[in-house]
Structure 1
Amino acid sequence: MPRALLIAAPASGSGKTTVTLGILRALARRGVTVSSAKSGPDYIDPRFHEAASGAPCVNLDAWAMTPARIAALAGRSDDLLVIEGAMGLFDGAPHATDPTRDGKGASADLARQLGAAVILVVDASHMAQSIAPLVAGFIAHDPTLTIAGVIVNKVGSPRHAAMITRALGRVGVPLIGCILRDKALATPSRHLGLVQAGERPDLDAFLDRAAETVEEALDLDALTALATPFEGSKDATRTPPPAQRIAVAQDAAFAFAYPHLLDDWHAQGAEIVTFSPLDDQPAPPADLVYLPGGYPELHAGKIAANHRTLQSLREAAARARVYGECGGYMVLGDGLVDRDGLRHRMAGLLDLETSFATRKLHLGYRTATSVASAVPFEGTWTAHEFHYATTLKADGTPLFTATDAEGADLGPQGLVRGSVSGSFLHLIDRA
């Protein structure tokens, strides 16, 4: 039976990603077979997980996925499953009318569904004895959760660690260890999140440093002994493939495709082929050309100059469906303005202009229903939106209607023109 640990924190920025990566790499170096997951809609951390453990990482989303889907993804093997939480332990979507039901999709929500033991990573850089009431409050807040242990991060000195250890001794929760501050474990960031795993030439050295830090500071045997068994499932309702042969853009500019959807399509007989727009590769012959999200704005000049790729998209639209999601959606438009105010000509398949010169954050869960027919993703979907682009122009037939997590109407989303469609929404699963 699989066993699970969920690595959570009181707040973002506590260091749970680095701690999780260190644990995964340390266990892998010991020969422990371990798999991992990330709570919520995240494309970047899972790729770091895979580099650390050498095993695939899945997203488990307690807002967007059914319990059956989560059980199937979490229980895909009988290995130890290490899940990295998102934001603070109890941070999730608000409820429209009942504040006692706030927090749907939070890491705590996922831990409840799987019965996973929670390991709380606490940033102690600005506290000492005050860590005790903080941890005690998290334990008392929800008795249905098991906070099985604490990892104290960003500790200033051995004396600081001793003060924290004494304070936590009165709380009655196991202290797995104290990790001293280490500037070498800081992770670079950009405007929309962490730098991607494939963009770090020092990735292996970073992961080994994290593993060495974890091995020195934590009792890994005590940690893994806290993992709790859960009922996984080998059966799940899979999302049908949107086409038989699907060409997927895949490189540093188009990296945000959910593996569980690609796996669903492949498991049901679809053929998945990839190509790189950044390398000016043409879209292969396919029934559907799919441009996922990513960071096209960082490569807009290069994409605009890659005429072979852009022309292949125009030619594909004459014989197949073409779909763009978030960053891919912007590339299907007429133009993209980068953050320096320079406009770059895109594929010109949708009457769409987007800009990063004036940024505005669009963030949150969505429920999207297609309003156009003969599009790749018909019906109702759970989705997530996270981008800073401003829409300068979007003319034509909308693709979806959408509501937010509280049920508020967000109006029409995306565009359809002939065989080409797309939107800013990252689709997660069938609703």
Structure 2
Amino acid sequence: MTKPLRIALAGLGTVGAGVVKLLDANAALIERRAGRAIEITAVSARDRTRDRGVDLSRFAWIDDTADLARRDDVDVVVELVGGSDGPALTLARATIAGGKSFVTANKAMIAHHGLELATAAEAKGVALKYEAAVAGGIPVIKGLREGAAANEIDHVFGILNGTCNYILSTMESPSVSGHGRDFGDVLAEAQALGYAEADPSFDIDGVDAAHKLSILASLAFGATIDFDSVAITGIRHVKAADIAEAAALGYKIRLVGLGEATSKGLFQRVHPCLVPVDHPLAHVTGSLNAVVAEGNYVGRLLFQGRGAGEGPTASAVVADLIDIARGETGPAFGMPVASLAHLPAAPAGERRGRAYLRFTVVDKPGVLAELTAAMRDAGVSIESLIQRGPAADGGVLIVLVTHDGPEASVAHALEKLEGSPSLIGAPMWMHILDS
């Protein structure tokens, strides 16, 4: 009889409890698919007394998380603690060094230390799995690493953060006044519903999506992870007026992570974008995630579903455990670390595209001429100009949409306007997604 795969579970929050529930509920099915049973032998978390809705008395409780890596009754350690460093990284290193496979949902740790851990796992002949680290239950890691392995992928992009997507899509709903809802009100609602943390900075400032993008780019392009080169802009400064203007122009606003392998290197950016209403990403609402990849033989692939939560994330964790139970312990990034390309960061200024520019300006003669002169002098061609007033925060709202052109020219025009007494607050620059 084949021996069961014995696992230790570090972290018993929402996802950790979900893993226990899933392994209990679908035990027979999982055993048939894995070829052997998958059993939890030990767990570790900060609070023994907390009711997690599952029976934990059958497992050994370990106070020091790092001790899980040293137990003789453990074949695989599952880390659901979180954090790019600290106990999670200590546990990862100890587990792999001890010759045990490691499964994690920790996108920050993989983005910052994935290459180190993958190198160590290859040396020990064990698995490093992280399907749950990107897009929750959507099998995008497996899809890129295995399903599209024969393809050259030139770009990958998508909606990678459910909190931001919930906020932006909810802002489209009319408020009591009949207009779109304000960012602050929707953020407070998202926090009350549990979609956003008490400190939402990690999500709304785009860092979470950037971690995930850097992992996807590595898989898609066969490159080393380069989180530090991701250009990041979050959604903190998107206004209800932007949502309304985008709708009038035929767009939805979404936070989009985009990675491209170009002749100049690897381009990675997380930024709020105007997405055409007929584009698949425009219809991704609420806390859903979606990823699009373009392969030279398979064509366009769209992965969409729930990107977070107990069930989807636990599903991805257990899928990794089933792979390990089957003996599938291939390289973490689709090829040996030594084969990954070291791509330089591609300069953003040489990219071309259309842009949405929103200004709040004082209501006085000559302001419009000042804006258009700055665009002219920087070589930016204006496709359309809309003036509204008064703006919610005073002054007049002006929106410019540019023709296709170099992003460096738009950046130069905004530099010319920096510090102008005509502007109330900083302009908002959003890219228009045309692919």
TM-score, normalization by structure 1: 0.28
**Structure possessing the higher radius of gyration over alpha carbons:** 2
Higher relative contact order (CA 8 A, sep 6+): 2
Comparing both structures, which one devotes a greater share of its residues to strand? 1
Comparing both structures, which one devotes a greater share of its residues to helix? 2
TM-score, normalization by structure 2: 0.27
